[in-house]
Every structure is written in structure tokens, then in C-alpha cells.
Structure 1
């Protein structure tokens, strides 16, 4: 079959596994430009992302430090005011007078009617309000003082409203305690009215509460033995008394204070006295709102750079909040659902919304709080009590007497929104640049390879037999030189092909079977030597791999049927590739190209035939489930053909090319198509080849190449 009759399958097989020059050039340009663009984009993204992340972290850290300074300053100011309020003549005088009046109260206990009236205040007024707010039940006399002086003090000055911002009313009993209480109230209630404290509590050294500005049920109680003995206030008073120094100041953690109907309170305690000794203690009840105002920035989160989700809060070692939540302040209707979604119990969320505050109610968790409680300072992406993951800056709060931590947090999505926006912008820009580079690379590659494509098309046409093909040869560059050389080659091939076609016509007339016409003529003339030498012949010698093992699985004539099917497949490939079949073996196949019909491209046809044989075997394997393969040797050169058995008319080949092709097929155990160096030189660029070592034939070492 001549080039002009090449089928589409042959052309596809010829190009299979190759990339065109344009494709390679395009890949090269794209790889260089896209990799450069990607590297620049990646470096820009990493550096930009880290810079933006560092900026966000620094901003949140600055917010934490700002709030730390403000809350520390607030508590420090309260401690100084407590020390000043306790170490002046008014406080010392009030303490001495209250203590003296307290001792006299033991001489005037309440009557039965007065005691019943006091009990009625608890059962009818205080306890119902307390039980309604806390949900707990208390006995009628649970908070009634044990001592008679305590009950008398409550009867005289405990008020139903518990208001500390107005002076106490004179009960009119004329007792020393009443006069001392009213005198002390003139001084201590001024602290409430002018400074803003919620309450002022004064005790004697035995722990008896001898005065409260609010007139609550803690008045008259003994903080060493009474119902409030386990309170933080009681412990703070015991600490300052045990210190026995007028300069001592104790700040207590926030606690739920029963006399304040269970609302959270905080105390700063200082002893009352002078260098001669102390006479009692004073405790200033710090408004929780002061702490909330500092931690919330008076509700101006966005103006202070906290965005829509940022906030700072305080927490104790018990992992409960010590300040209010921004979300509760801004979105009280959705607060419960939000915190429940992040692990808070429904009961706790309901108590928070009912109380209108998160202090001592809302639990907090996560890396930030855990590390801060452990004494570490830093930043982390941490789970919080709300809104899932947050960027948090945390630190322990350095305030004497308080085991608190401070956390500045912001939702991770909002905190890193600039990083996300930057990444999105950079990605879009990089993709746009890559698209532009791809278009430019495509245009450049097309411009560069257009002459090559024209030459490739012309070469394919020539290989298909159109030797009249010409390509434009305008210009003075290398492509023009190549075009002129190609046109000269095509003209020469035209002449040569005309000669070959003429010779083939003559041969076709003489050939009757598989042998050359000259041999046929000699045979007819009765000559004994029926052999001819042929130059420039490609020899293909193939050996089946695995057929013996496969044949053992067959029965009867199935082996012959299998061999026939394989041979038919080889014959079809030979016809398609223009290769002459010489003889068929049980486990092999011998063929040549350029023997009976001279070919200018016999090496290419021989290699295509070898590759096609392996493809035919692969199709047989797919259909039958066999695992056969071929070892094929291909060489080109001189051979001798002839009839080796006159009686049986056996036609065969021998010679150097035959021996080398036969040697190649037995050069190793690995299946494949193996070429000599002479074949490689003729087909290089048409097939992908790999170095397969070398063989030695007749003392000569020949390089082997394998088609991959």
C-alpha cells in the first residue's frame, strides 16, 4: 500500500503520543509566564496576608491593652478611695460611735410585737422578692440576725427599698446607736451620692455589720457566724482584720449578694483606725455598671474600632464572665439562641436574658481563656461563647486580690475580612493576568509555528504521495531556507517516485506470488541459485511473548484458531503499513519493507508496522483476557532473499539486517519494539525513543533503542 493510500488510522497512529511544535512552544511560554505569575502572586499573597493578619492582631492586642489599662485604673482608684474613706477622722469617729451604740443595743431587745413585725418584713416583703428573682426557697427567719442587737438594728434601719442614695430616716427611739447611725450616715451616704457607690458597709472587729448605707438585710448580721459568713465580703473583712494594718486594702471578686436580691456585687474593703489600732472595717460596694462601662467603652464599640462583632470582656478562674456581653446589650432578642448554638445550656441562657446581664452567669471557654487563666499572654483563633471561632487577644489581669483575665475578641470572619478581600482581589488579578499571558502566548506560538505548520502539512502530503506539493519560500530567514530545501527535496522525490512507480509497474507484471520478479524469472528458467541481494531494506522480526503459557490453557484446535486470529491481525497491519510479509512462525512473524517494492520510507513503515502489531495483540488480549505481548526487532540494511527449498518453494531472508533484527528480538525479556541505530536515524522525531542499551552481533556492538 503506497503513501497516497495511507488511511486516517495510519496518520493518527503516526502522531499518537507526540506534541506539536506549536504545543511545545505554547507550553514553554505558558509554563514560563504562568509559573512566574503564580510565584509572584503567591509571594504577594503570603506577604500581604501576613501583613494584614499582623495588623489585625496588633489592633486587637492594642484594644486589649487599652481596656486593661482602663479597668486597672478604675479598680486602683476605688482602692485609693477606700483607703482615704477609712483613714480619716470622720470614719474613725463614726466607727467608734457605732461600736459603742451597738454594745448598748444588747440592753434593749425587741418586744414580741417588734420581733413579729421584723419577721413579717421578711415573709411579706423581702423573701418573696428574693425567691422570685433567684427561684430558691428560704425560711422566714433565714436572714434574721441571731443577736438581739442585730435584730434591733434591722428593726430600726432596714428599709424596704434598700436605697443607698438618700439619708436614713430617724426611727425616733433616741438611742445612742440611732444617733451614731444617723451621724455616720451623714458621712457615708455622701460617698454613695457623690461618688456613686452602690452601698457602704461598716463592721466592728467581731464581724457585726453595724451600718449599711442601703439599709439592707445584711445590717445587724455577723459575717463571722451569720448567714453571710461564706461570702467574699466576709472573707475580705477577715483578711483586712487579720492584716492589722490601717493601710491594708482587699478587693473581692464579684459575688451574688443575697441582701441585694442575688444581684452580683463587688467589694473593696479597708480597715478603719489609726496608728493606735483599728476599730472596724469599711466596705465599698463597687457598681458593676462601672466595670461594664469600661469594658464596653460606654457602648461605643464601632467608634472605637471593634467593628460589628468585636468586644472585650472579663472572666474569672471559674470561667464565668465578670462583665457584660456586647451581644446581649445590642441584640438581647437573639442572644439566647446564639449562645445556645455555641454550647451554653438553655437554662443558663434563660437566666442571662432574665437578669439582663452575663456577670457570673455566662460561661466562656476556649484556648484564649484557658491560656490566660494559666498566666499566659498572647493571641489565638479560639472558640468563644458565641459566634463560633474568634480571633482573641488575651492576658491575665494584674489586680491584687482578683484572679481575672481579660479577652479582646472579634469574629474570625470579620477580623480576617481584609485578608479575604485582599486574597480575592489578588486571585482575580492573577487569573486575569494569566488569561492575558495565555492569549499572548497562543498568538506568539501561532505566529512562530505557522511556517512549521505549512512545512508539516506539506511533508504529510508528500508522505501521502503528493510530490507536487510546494511551500512558499519568501523571505531570508531560516524558515525560508528550510522551505526552499523542502521544495528541492519534493522535486527530487517526484523524479524518484516516477522511477519507482515505473519499476513497480514492471514488477507487478512479473510477480505472481510472494517472491520478487527476478527470482520468479530465475525459477522459471530453472536456475539453481535462487537468491538476490537487496540494499536499504527494513526487516521486522517479531516474537510472541507468553503464547506458550496461553496455549496450555487452550484445548483442541483453539490454539490454531488463536494463532490464525493473531496472524490475520498482523497481515492487516502489514497491508495497512505497506509492509511485505515474508513468513509466519508459530510464535513469531517475519516481514520486510522495501524488499519487493522499494520504499524511500521503509524504516518508518517498518516501525509503524511493529507498533501496529503490538496494538493488534493488545486488542486480542482485551477480547480474550490473554496477557500476550511482542518483542520486535527492527533493522535496515542489506539482505538476501531467495528460495531455500526448491521442492517446497520456501521463500526466506538472510543477511546482516535479518540477523540483527533477529538478535534484537531476543535481546531481553522485556516486551517492546527495539530499533537499531540505523533505524533510529531515519525515524528520529517521528516516534518517542528511549535508550535500551546495546547488543553484540558478530563482534560488533550496536546501540538499541526502544519505542516508548
Structure 2
């Protein structure tokens, strides 16, 4: 019996070691693969949100600028000035000077990029205005190419230069503020670029008959010129753009509408560098958890990359060798070298890119563009106007390197385990207290905080019944603990809907009387003009639905700009910027919030076919903020700053933003304010006020 029991124990031990090793290996491999896919998917989704947010931000800023009085007036006046110059024409001497400049400064660069002789006639502008204005703002510009935009007045005495001296500093500042690579205005009728910030060779050329009539900027202008909708934005995918040295450039346009007619198109020129930095993480792949071979990249509908692959930045020689090895054409490799970027030149046609461009998200092991097995996560991007796919990947060899080490370790440990089993089998045959030791270990794990622990039930005797009872107790406690955690999360979410996060944390920390003074914040009050008369004819549920929809859009705008909503009273909305966490540009953020609120109110009124306007008042200064109440918390503000902001709103003008001197002094260089002089304010007497009309 002893020999039989010994043999049985050794055999069982060997089987256990083998099964455990095999199952452990495959489960570890599956777990590692899932972890890698989860990490890749998380990284891809994060980068996708960053790229989508970048375009949404540009979209919103461009729409706001296109509806501004500055842009509308500039478009109208630049059109007239350019037409006058075009009718007057340019002298043969001036045309020759411009042609000579192209031959000496522009054509050599295009020849190098194209890899063949560039024809001068293919790039010369058409018409008198382009020759005249390009001579004064490009050829005769005293600044180097990268600083041409610093010239405000060419000094030629033309109406165009007079207007340029007025509007160019404002446009240049706007472009720098929102981060546009270039900022252009096109005549909707002629398609002529009547204004650009950077003054590249597309300046004042016609996008209908000029050298760039087939470019993506021409497509954007053509689309927007036919769209008399203030909310419309026309985005054209990246393409090689000759005026920018063949660099990959995308364009986003918005119609400039005057008295219901499209008079021009406001265009943002977007460089690929910003998107490349987002997708490549500033080329810090190791720090972002991509290891030695991982990366993320963008692909367009033509399967050409919209961001640079990792190998191009880390090892150019190896990169080109790998392209050659996977069958890339000599033309493709040569184009990458000439243009100095793989963007729009390297083709990646894999299972991942095909699925993502078809609108399908997924993960899997594929053969990557370098011809090696790769673990990848892919999916499309939600950007109106373009069809892009984002892929995050890592080489399978690197991802599964820990599994290879585990397999070697399992073989070694398995062999040692068999020796240990054989040596201890005699003792184990006499160890009848195994179940009891397991139960003891389970109790200790539970006591140490492992509430998911369980013990195997090996017998049906009293010890087995005790193990069953223990497992049942642990399971019941785990379920109750989970219920408690869920309730805590629900309470946390409810508290954060009532109070700012820092204030909620202080309440949870035990503070009872929360009151803080803030030396400098900006407070805004907004009120719907005509809402009372409107709602007198509406059923109650429609009133609530209407207000909820409008104020929800206000809340989204406030969240985007880092502004704290304080409360709503009826059809009035109160918000503050600069607390509970101070920010340096609180006044600028609040004015941008007010601009968005006015536009949101207009859109909401149009969507519901009602007549309604918004009146906004803004003031900056010190306030006292705190939590009042016990049964129903409320976080509120007090002080003279709050009262004066409320008076600015009540004494304001519909569809305008009325601000005090502190706000005006901070932002007079960024926004075009109109003085109202001293107005009568209840409880204050005469107070200076300024208007920002929209």
C-alpha cells in the first residue's frame, strides 16, 4: 500500500506539474496578449481623442473668426482694393522682377523636391494684382522669408496697403493665438487669395485660373463659397502644397457671410507637424509605453501615411533598407528623401489599415508594413471631412519576449518540481491534513484583504463542509463589499455634480465651514432677452426642455474652457473663471465663453424657430466663495465684483457682451471693444463700460 500510494502521489504530482505548466504557459500568453492589446487600444483611443479634439478646436475657432466683424469688414474691403489693383495692372518691368525672383528663389527648390526641372511658367501668377502685390510684399519685402509677415505696410501708397496696415496686425495675432500655420482670406467670387498672413507665393493668386487651381485649398474655397451657412466648415485632407515647399498641408475653410451672401472664405492652413507630434507623442515612444518597436501612425483613404513612422525618425538608413526589403518602389523611396518626410509618400496597406478605413475597430496579430508579425489595434477617426485610420502596434517578438523566458523557466522549474515531488512523496502520503492547511491559508488570505479568495473542497466530511461554508461566507462578503463600492461611486458622482471637485474633496476631508477669498477672478452673468414673453405661450414641459437644451450646451462650453458654472436662476446663467483653481487668463477665457454663449443662443433659437437673444455682463475682481446649506449644498459667490457683473448684464445690450474696465484693460489688445462711456449702475452711480458686439 505504501508503494502504491507513493507511486500514485508521484504520478499525480507529475501530471499536476505538467498540466499546471502547460495551462500556466497558455494562460500567461493569453493574458499578456490581452494586456498588450488593451494597452495598444488605450493608447490608440487616447491619441484619436487628441487628434479629434485638435480639429474640433480649430473648427470652433475658425467659425467664430469667420463671423467676427473684423474678418467680414476686412474681406469686403480687401476685395475692392485687390480688384482696383487688378484693373490697373502691373508694368512689364515689375512683372519681370517678379519672374526673376521666382526663377532665382522658388524654382530651384521645386526642382529639388520634384526631382526634375520645374517649369517657371507653371508657377507664375495670373493677373495684374498678384504681380503687383507679390512684388511689394514678397520680392521687395525687407524681411527674410520666414519673417515676411512682419511687414504691415509696403509703403506703395495703394488702398490695399492702407487696409493691410490696419488689418494685418489683427489677423497675424489671431493666427498666432489659435495656432494656425497660415491664415488666409479668399474672394468667394473670383477664388483669389486676397489676403494671407505668411505671404507665400500663393498670395493674391486665383484658385480658379492660377497655378494652384488644382490644390486642396482651391477645393476648400470652392466648397465653402457655395455654402451660405455660418456653421459650415470645409476641411480638405493633407496634400503636398508647392507654396509651402511641398510640405503636407491641410486646409479648413469657413464662409464669410455679409447680409446673407457669401463674400469670402476664411481659411486656416494646417501643418502636419502638430498632428505628427500628437500621434508620435513628441517622438517619445519609450516614455509612452511603446517599448523598442511600438508606435502609432495615421493613414488616409489613399493608404498613405499622415504621420511619420518611428523608424524614419530613429534610424533613417535602417528605415530605407526595410522599405526596400518589403518591396517599396524606388519612386516612393526617392520621394521620401526629396520631400524630407514619409507623410503622403509611404504607403501602408495592411489588414489593420484596410479594416480601420472601412470603419471597423479591432485588434489582432498581422503582418506589419515592415514585413514582420505585429500585434496591432486599429480604428477610424471621427473627423468630418476626412477619412483617416489610426493604428497602434508593437512587434510580436518584443511583445512575447516575456513568454519565451517564461517557457524556459517553466521547463527548468518543472524538472526541479518533479525531483521535489519524488523526494517528498513519502511525506505527502502521510500528510492527511492538507485540506485543513489549505483552509488555514485561505483564512489568512482573507484576513490580509484578499476578499476574492477561496479554498478547494476536497472531501465531503466535516472539513469539506467547513471549506464550503468558508467559501460561501467569502462570496457573500465580496458581493456586499461590491455593493458598498458601487454606492460610494454613485454618491461621489452626485456630490461632484453639485460642487467643484476641490470643494467636494474638502467636504469629504471633514471641513464644515468652507469659505475662501480669491483676489482675482472673472464673473459673468447671462440672461435670455425675450424669454419670459416666449415662455408665456409654451407648455411647462417645453419650457424646461428648451432651457435644459440651451444650458446643457453652455455647460459643455464651460467645461471646454475650464470655467466653473455657479448656478442658474430661471433663464439667467452665472459662471466664474479663476476659482477654485486659479488660472492666469481667466478674463480671456470668460470672454471666449461669452462669445460662445451668444452664438449657441443664436443657433438654439434658430433650431427652435423662436426669437431670442442673450445679454452678457462680465467683471473681474476679488470675490468670496463658499458652501452654504446642510441638507442641499450650494457653492456660491459674494462680493462687489459679483454685484457689478450682474449690473453689467442687466444694463447691457442683447447679443453683446458688456464688460468693466478691469476686463477691458486686460483684453483690449485681443478683442475689439466699443466704449459706452459711463453708464448709470444701480447702487454704483456712473460706471465705465465697454461692449463687444457680435
TM over 0.5: yes
Match in the other structure for 1:517: none
Inter-partner Cα distance in structure 1 for 2:7 and 2:301: 62
Does the Cα contact within 8 Å between 2:377 and 2:392 map onto a contact in 1? yes
**Of residues 256, 265, 279 in structure 2, which corresponds to 1:272?**
256
Q: CA deviation at 1:71?
A: 0.8
Inter-partner Cα distance in structure 2 for 1:65 and 1:214: 34
Match in the other structure for 1:527: none
Match in the other structure for 1:605: none
Inter-partner Cα distance in structure 1 for 2:340 and 2:202: 25
Inter-partner Cα distance in structure 2 for 1:99 and 1:405: 39
Match in the other structure for 1:344: 328
**2:224 is aligned with 1:240:** yes
Inter-partner Cα distance in structure 1 for 2:417 and 2:337: 54
Match in the other structure for 1:219: 203
Q: CA deviation at 1:295?
A: 0.9
For the residue of structure 2 that corresponds to 1:270, the secondary structure is strand
Alignment of 1:67-466 (within 5 A): 67-159=47-139, 161-163=144-146, 166-168=149-151, 170-205=153-188, 206-274=190-258, 276-386=260-370, 388-437=372-421
Alignment of 1:530-569 (within 5 A): none
Deviations 1:559-580 (A, max 9, x none): xxxxxxxxxxxxxxxxxxxxxx
**2:46 is aligned with 1:66:** yes
Deviations 1:239-295 (A, max 9, x none): 111222122112211110011121111111111224532210111111221111111
Aligned positions, number: 425
In angstroms, what is the RMSD of aligned CA positions?
2.9
For the residue of structure 1 that corresponds to 2:146, the secondary structure is coil
Does the Cα contact within 8 Å between 1:387 and 1:411 map onto a contact in 2? no
Question: TM-score, structure 2 length as denominator?
Answer: 0.57
Alignment of 1:465-476 (within 5 A): none
Q: CA deviation at 1:25?
A: 11
Structure-2 change in CA distance of 1:307 and 1:112 (3 Å): same
Question: TM-score, structure 1 length as denominator?
Answer: 0.56
Match in the other structure for 2:484: none
Q: CA deviation at 1:353?
A: 4.3
Inter-partner Cα distance in structure 1 for 2:119 and 2:331: 25
Q: CA deviation at 1:113?
A: 0.9
Does the Cα contact within 8 Å between 2:308 and 2:341 map onto a contact in 1? yes
Deviations 1:417-460 (A, max 9, x none): 2333333333332233235446778999xxxxxxxxxxxxxxxx
Does the Cα contact within 8 Å between 2:350 and 2:367 map onto a contact in 1? yes
Inter-partner Cα distance in structure 1 for 2:122 and 2:222: 23
Deviations 1:301-341 (A, max 9, x none): 22221112211111101111101222222223432123323
Match in the other structure for 2:32: 52
Gaps spanning 5+ residues in structure 1: where? 1-22, 445-708
Inter-partner Cα distance in structure 2 for 1:67 and 1:152: 45
Structure-2 change in CA distance of 1:443 and 1:172 (3 Å): closer
Deviations 1:524-548 (A, max 9, x none): xxxxxxxxxxxxxxxxxxxxxxxxx
Structure-2 change in CA distance of 1:332 and 1:374 (3 Å): same
For the residue of structure 2 that corresponds to 1:306, the secondary structure is coil
Structure with the greater relative contact order (CA < 8 A, sep ≥ 6): 1 or 2? 1
Q: CA deviation at 1:201?
A: 1.8
Structure-2 change in CA distance of 1:345 and 1:432 (3 Å): farther
